[in-house]
Amino acid sequence: MVASTLTQDRMEDVIPHAGTTPGLFQLYTPTDKELAASFLRRAEKSGYKAVVITLDTWITGWRPHDLNTGNFPQLRGYCLQNYFTDDVFLGRLSKSPKEDTRAASLEWAKVFGNPLRWPDLKWLRSLTTLPILLKGILHPDDVRKARDYGIDGIYCSNHGGRQANGGLPALEALPAVVEAAASMPVLFDSGVRSGADIAKALALGATAVGVGRPYIYALAVGGADGLVSQLHALLAELDLLMAVDGYPSIADLRAAGAQRISTK
């Protein structure tokens, strides 16, 4: 389970519900370095198992659907509880977020986006002992560069296609990313809508596959029960598809995928 910096509940209240599921904290690195350090301290202290550094959203792309619906919840004070409960961020405000939500939201907009450079990884590495994964990697050269900087894992993603219209499909980039990653784990998301999509990503070498919009849609329509039903459906489809195609285990699926890639 990957919990974003942008959540309606603070990170400390989210992680206990993960139970035995490993929880990863997804950092949208702010421009305020003290605030970034505070977020990572809180994530480590509250029990997250790794940090996902987001590289592809230091500024949001052109999103017509969001624009047409006026959908920017952060500017109305939503999904900012990690900021509104952080002492460093609160120190930037003259009034509490409850007293002046608009001013607090505008202050968030000032610190949200930080276009990172490679040397910044040394600084981020110094802030936490947790494993670090880079999210938004689509090129093997970037994977190899990340290895040189001591990064622990790669997250192959194009942010669900919500950033660069006409950009490279993440699934096409996955095999080269996996090859360059060598022993590093490679997480994958973007466009995963079915058990068949999960099978394809696993066959192409993904260590784990992330699901975005389907679980949000299910949650919006059916609440927690809808979410559980959606996840069960994804797993059931994956299980049946593997049986139909003759793969008894995920290891067999991965081995078959690796063999096909090597013969091309």
Euclidean distance between CA atoms 191 and 33, whole angstroms: 33
Comparing CA positions, the residue from 210, 174, 177 lying closest to residue 192 is 210
Residue 163 is given by DSSP the state S
Is 159 catalytic? The answer is yes
Residue 248: C-alpha distances to residues 53, 192, 232, 257 (Å): 35, 22, 19, 14
Question: Buried (b) or exposed (e) across 81-101, using 16+ Cβ within 10 A?
Answer: bbbbbbebbeebeeeebeeeb
Comparing CA positions, the residue from 55, 43, 34 lying closest to residue 5 is 43
Active-site residue, selected from the candidate residues 17, 65, 139, 159? 159
Comparing CA positions, the residue from 128, 160, 145 lying closest to residue 25 is 128
Comparing CA positions, the residue from 117, 115, 149, 119 lying closest to residue 133 is 149
Other beta carbons within 10 angstroms of residue 32's beta carbon come to 20
Residues 6+ apart with CB under 8 A from 75: 105, 106, 109
The residues annotated with a catalytic role in the active site are 159
